[in-house]
Structure 1
Amino acid sequence: MSKLDYKLLEALSAVIKDQSFERAAGTLCITQSAVSQRIKALEQQLAQPVLIRSQPIKTTKLGKQLLRHYYQVVQLEADLMPQVMPDTPESPLTLHIATNADSLATWLIPAIAPIIKQHLIEVNLLIADETHTVDMLRDGQAFGAIGSQNTPVKGCQLTELGELDYILVASPEFIERYFSEGINKHSLRQAPGIAFDHKDNMHIRFVHEHFGLSEGDYPLHAVRSSEAFVAMAKHGAAYCLIAELQIQEELAKGELVHIFKQAKITESLYWHHWVLLKGIYKKISNAIISHGRQVLGTPNV
């Protein structure tokens, strides 16, 4: 019976993480040709492809399964080695976490910072819309994901964190320019808004539900940063649908104004993670659950 060669899986992981065979070679301290040979050997052993050589480079369904397995083996090894070889110099352990931008901008860093300061770890934060972060867990790119999906991924565990309220805001300058006669279908056709990216349908959903406008009926910036949402709104360049938690200070100072108090969007957030967690992985997971529930309003049980 054939067994998996973990050097081959390590090469697969490096190519996906670095998005380049050349950079993966540098990470692994081998030649680019050797990386290609390891990927080829893995595909020959399994008689099917593990990579989709596109831009960005992606894994096949089998490749995703292999990466999930490899990352869990790395986790178990990292937890075991200090016990069996206590004198071995500690090397950084990379933890891949998928998160929505709003959690990153508000509460995630304070949740994990104490653990990062205590241990030699590297955190790779993968940012996507909250409806798509779990795809990164499913694909093997992350060991855990903060997202809005309320059903568990196969082989993973789900914990409710709480809720984020999203409200529509703009600066006084913007309101004077575009909404002096109120916010309505006509004024929205002229006023630029902001979405996270082309996969972010929260803004589009909100405007369609309350004003009957479809995507393309009004100008919409694409900005992949929650902080930039706030900056653009404060500078009068756009209005936006943003997590109320993130702009409490701006609302208090009058730099941003809640422009449609009749409605908001409440998004429930969940922490999805591997079922078997040990060591640093478990500490990070527990910190995310504890702090997330404290900030988002779900009691720890």
Structure 2
Amino acid sequence: MEELPPEQVRTLLAVVDEGTFEAAAAVLHVTPSAVSQRVKALEQRTGRVLLLRTKPARPTESGQVVVRYARQLARLARDAGTELGLHGDGRGPARLPIAVNADSLATWFLPALARIPQDPPLALELHREDESHTTALLREGQVMAAVTSTPDPVAGCSVRRLGLVRYLPAAQPAFAARYCAGPLAEALREAPVIVFDRRDDLQDAYVRSLTGSGHGAGALRHHIPTSEGFRDAVTAGLGWGLVPETHAAPLIAAGRLVALAPDRPVDVPLFWQQWKLDSPALSTVAAVIAAAAAEALLPA
């Protein structure tokens, strides 16, 4: 990697971040032709296709390796400039992309970010993704850190356990009386269900754990892709769902939701994965997130 020309590496990253050669050229203050020539020269040097010329442009698997390298170079350059007192160079605040799941965003994660020191300023760029898929963004080089349910480290990353987030199977009282009067395992196989999106397997896995079979939740399912919307859909009686305890507990106390199986919650482990990079900014953010998670989540 040390033989890759930094100018060409930065150019590839600009194309990936901006989406087109023209937009990258505007950011780099060069012509689109120069951008194209740099990318081609980098591909010739590596002997691999690094970029899919789509709209937006996307890195190939080999390109992802170079993108990760480019972000690490940029982060190290930023940190070095900060330590040398050069961060006021007109380039704007440093950017730190992080992948995080929607439920963390809606509960404990944003208050944690407010604790991060802003001297020097740090621009946080959050990518919302299911906790079982956030590591894909790490692998692709789109983010430098991620909240994930995956304990196995992505290549070049370290892992820190954050804690457990508890989910309660819950439903509106009238919904529960109508659909869940019989044995719960059988009822949930037929009852309407709320899921986050088509990759959300939490409800199906819960039903399989109850039945001991391969049958998941019911076929009638509503896809609600926000944490708050998910909670509100369950509260409105559209279906049952596994609601974060932070959201469910006050609604259960108020009688707006009922816990379908108080003794059968679901605890999902969360981890913090980040690049193995000697970056003060990244280390500071990691420490803040870990401290906030220790306060907000159940101990592992």
TM-score when normalising by structure 2: 0.86
Aligned to 1:221: 222
Aligned to 1:253: 254
Structure 1 pair 236–280 and aligned structure 2 pair: CA distance change class (3 A): same
Report deviation, 1:230: 0.8
Aligned to 1:287: 288
Could you tell me whether the CA contact under 8 Å between 1:170 and 1:238 is conserved in 2?
A: yes
Secondary structure in 1 aligned to 2:65?
Answer: helix
Q: Does the alignment pair 1:175 with 2:176? A: yes
Aligned to 2:273: 272
Structure 1: runs of 5+ lacking an equivalent: none
CA distance in 2, matches of 1:239, 1:23: 45
CA distance in 2, matches of 1:297, 1:184: 26
CA distance in 1, matches of 2:166, 2:55: 35
- Once the two structures are superposed, what CA deviation does each residue of 1:83-107 show, in whole Å capped at 9, x if it has no partner? 4354634612111111121111111
Please say which of residues 273-282 and 223-232 is displaced more in the overlay: 273-282
Could you tell me whether the CA contact under 8 Å between 2:162 and 2:294 is conserved in 1?
A: yes
Aligned to 1:244: 245
Report deviation, 1:3: 3.2
Could you tell me whether the CA contact under 8 Å between 1:185 and 1:213 is conserved in 2?
A: no
Structure 1 pair 254–73 and aligned structure 2 pair: CA distance change class (3 A): same
Please say which of residues 66-75 and 217-226 is displaced more in the overlay: 217-226
Aligned to 1:150: 151
Amino acid at match of 1:255: R
Could you tell me whether the CA contact under 8 Å between 2:189 and 2:215 is conserved in 1?
A: no
Structure 1 pair 89–56 and aligned structure 2 pair: CA distance change class (3 A): closer
Aligned to 2:166: 165
CA distance in 1, matches of 2:44, 2:291: 45
Amino acid at match of 2:6: Y
Aligned to 2:192: 192
CA distance in 1, matches of 2:279, 2:123: 16
Structure 2: runs of 5+ lacking an equivalent: none
Identity among equivalent positions (%) equals: 32
Amino acid at match of 1:163: L
CA distance in 1, matches of 2:138, 2:71: 11
CA distance in 1, matches of 2:2, 2:160: 37
Structure 1 pair 257–115 and aligned structure 2 pair: CA distance change class (3 A): same
Aligned to 2:74: 74
Report deviation, 1:254: 2.0
CA distance in 2, matches of 1:200, 1:8: 39
Secondary structure in 2 aligned to 1:114?
Answer: coil
CA distance in 2, matches of 1:34, 1:81: 27
- Once the two structures are superposed, what CA deviation does each residue of 1:60-93 show, in whole Å capped at 9, x if it has no partner? 2211111111111111111111343546346121
- Once the two structures are superposed, what CA deviation does each residue of 1:3-45 show, in whole Å capped at 9, x if it has no partner? 3233333333233334444554554455555544443332233
Could you tell me whether the CA contact under 8 Å between 2:188 and 2:207 is conserved in 1?
A: no
Please say which of residues 79-88 and 257-266 is displaced more in the overlay: 79-88
Q: Does the alignment pair 1:202 with 2:215? A: no
Aligned to 1:123: 124
Aligned to 2:44: 44
Note the aligned Cα RMSD (angstroms). 2.8
CA distance in 2, matches of 1:239, 1:29: 53
Paired positions, count: 298
Please say which of residues 47-56 and 284-293 is displaced more in the overlay: 47-56
Secondary structure in 2 aligned to 1:245?
Answer: helix
Q: Does the alignment pair 1:65 with 2:72? A: no
Report deviation, 1:59: 2.2
Amino acid at match of 2:61: K
Could you tell me whether the CA contact under 8 Å between 2:165 and 2:298 is conserved in 1?
A: no
Amino acid at match of 1:42: L
Could you tell me whether the CA contact under 8 Å between 2:149 and 2:270 is conserved in 1?
A: yes
Secondary structure in 1 aligned to 2:168?
Answer: strand
Could you tell me whether the CA contact under 8 Å between 1:165 and 1:243 is conserved in 2?
A: yes
CA distance in 1, matches of 2:247, 2:143: 25
CA distance in 2, matches of 1:163, 1:298: 6
Amino acid at match of 2:127: L
Aligned to 1:139: 140
TM-score when normalising by structure 1: 0.86
Could you tell me whether the CA contact under 8 Å between 2:24 and 2:35 is conserved in 1?
A: yes
